[in-house]
Amino acid sequence: MASLAEDNHAVDEFAGSNGPSLPPNQIAPPLSPVRKVALITGITGQDGSYLTEFLLGKGYEVHGLIRRSSNFSTARLDHLYVDPHNSHKALMKLHYADLSDASSLRRWVDSLLPDEVYNLAAQSHVAISFEIPDYTADVVATGALRLLEAIRSCAKKGIRYYQAGSSEMFGSTPPPQSETSAFHPRSPYAAAKCAAHWYTVNYREAYGLFACNGILFNHESPRRGENFVTRKITRAVGRIKVGLQTKLFLGNLSAARDWGFAGDYVEAMWMMLQQEEPGDYVVATEDSHSVEEFLEEAFGHVGLNWRDHVVIDKRYFRPSEVDSLKGDSTKARKVLGWKPRVGFTELVKMMVDSDIELAKREKVLVDAGYMDAQQQP
């Protein structure tokens, strides 16, 4: 089966055709309603998939930029995929591009002429940013600059731009953190996000772009990557519960974060671009919990004691830690009318339940001899 991107490129080749002409005296069918066009970088990620669902539900035509990879990375979008040859139903299309390649960004902005651009792509793992700082800075910071420049130079004016910020930008600034709190980044990732934030502000002030920064605090879901601590925990809970794993290795359990549901947060992204004036907004639940509390909730949901399974491994401690993040989202609640729907306990249970089902399916493969159950202690 061809990849989503490969199929969509086949459609790109036919896109320039005007199609067959109508037979004489035949009345043309009514034109389809004009749809807003959204362009999303990072569409294959957690937030990208939820945002795509949301925008399709709003009647948008959604285009996503994806990187070339030897492995398909479109699993989070599979349920939304429609063969692009069915042009009346295929409202999500994927195209190859990269935030490190300015020419590809400019080409797609110029050809798609989107109404809204959502820059969600990033090397978004904080700990890994210490290992690949150059790449992180190039994609997260300079990548945002390349995209802003593509929008600025586009023939279409009035494109609205959303820049995905991060609560990690606040770093060691004491909570609660709001739009007026000082940035004190504690990782290459956070520093790069600060640069992207100020590039966005600069292009708004210098060129009049409708450009917004969404400073989103930690947001999770069953679609979260498995090397992020919340999903690492819930994935382990599922595997331990069905007997595929016994130990979970973690680092700093005292770190506290303001965790919300990613599905709630993508609505705030969209709301920012529907305002009369551009601005910057903190999006948060205003409720903070430690990693240890997350463990209590996750293991307790299935009747297990996390202390029987968790082992502290110093390799998971960062060179510089962020102790506590808790957002003040007063502005978003008042101006946008946004508020979170999913609370902390419901979020954890949602993730655990999903990973229990995943572990059960995995166990079937293990019992049948198709997988090795000894991948983890």
Enumerate long-range contacts of 112-115, CB under 8 Å, 24 or more apart.
Answer: 112/37, 112/39, 112/63, 113/37, 113/154, 113/155, 113/156, 113/159, 114/37, 114/38, 114/39, 114/63, 114/159, 115/36, 115/37, 115/38, 115/158, 115/159, 115/160
Nearest to 194 by CA among 102, 283, 280, 290: 280
The CA–CA distances, whole Å, from 113 to 62, 164, 289, 374 equal 12, 21, 42, 50
3-state secondary structure of 13: helix
Q: Is the dihedral of CA 322, 327, 328, 330 positive or negative?
A: positive
Catalogue the E-assigned strands of the chain: 37-41, 61-66, 92-96, 116-119, 160-164, 210-216, 219-220, 248-250, 256-257, 260-261, 280-283, 289-290, 310-312
Residues 6+ apart with CB under 8 A from 14: none
Question: In the chain, how many H helices and how many E strands?
Answer: 12, 13
Cβ atoms 139, 117 nearer than 8 A: no
The CA–CA distances, whole Å, from 190 to 16, 39, 143, 153, 193 equal 42, 24, 14, 28, 5
The residues annotated with a catalytic role in the active site are: 166, 168, 189
Strands 160-164 and 116-119: parallel
Cβ atoms 192, 186 nearer than 8 A: no
Q: Other C-beta atoms within 10 Å of 78: how many?
A: 10
d(CA 126, CA 167): 11
Q: Is the dihedral of CA 311, 317, 321, 327 positive or negative?
A: negative
- Given the structure tokens 């671009």, which residue do they identify? 273
